[in-house]
Structure 1
Amino acid sequence: MIRLRLYTTLGCHLCEQLEALLATLCHERYRLERVEISDDEALVARYGMRIPVLVDEAGVELDRGMEPERLVAWLASRGWLDEAAWEMLRRQLAGEGEPREAKGAVMRGGRRYLG
């Protein structure tokens, strides 16, 4: 299982977007440790303007991972990219296909809930 760390803060919609993309595009099982930066002044100074920041086990950071192309490149360089999911998402973003739910997502009352 892959271990990843996400530097985030409460109510960060970009962080939520990154998590949804990660759930869709990563074909490996992973554990995501969320680190709340607002609890530590040093973390706020380091990550405050950069969140969400995703970090792998080697300590390699990905800024702006909520941008699909950046996350795709980061995952692909590690061999973790679900190519079929990326192709479907790419087509959806280009307006070419039907929307696809994230892995583990459930629709209830018109809202999507991630599992």
Structure 2
Amino acid sequence: MKTIQTVMAISFLVVSPVALAEGGADRVFGRMLQSNEKAMAQYAEAQGKAAPAVKHYKYGMTLDISKVVSVTPSSSACGVVPARMTYEDSRGELHTIEYRVQGFGCPHGG
């Protein structure tokens, strides 16, 4: 009986931070994307260019990428998460594309 209680307590301690991290991930990604959007608006202003509007990537979309300006960092979350890339096209115009990537924080079975 004592062993079961110990296992349950350890499971609760291990699962609780994971659940909290999953629940807080949306807020973290929201802040990260807002920060990126603000930084890209400042970059555009400093370059004398129009701030890019965020476009959502669709499979097969053609992108004219001449220079990558910024890419949001990969996530340590487990699951599919949003990411953004801001780039200049061949005419020097700025674009920001939002897409989904797989986080690399998933535990590996073994």
Which band: TM-score by shorter chain?
A: under 0.3
Ranked by relative contact order (alpha carbons within 8 Å, sequence separation 6 or more), the top structure is: 1
Give the number of the structure whose residues are more often helix, by fraction. Answer: 2
**Bigger radius of gyration:** 2
Using the size of structure 1 for normalisation, the TM-score is 0.26
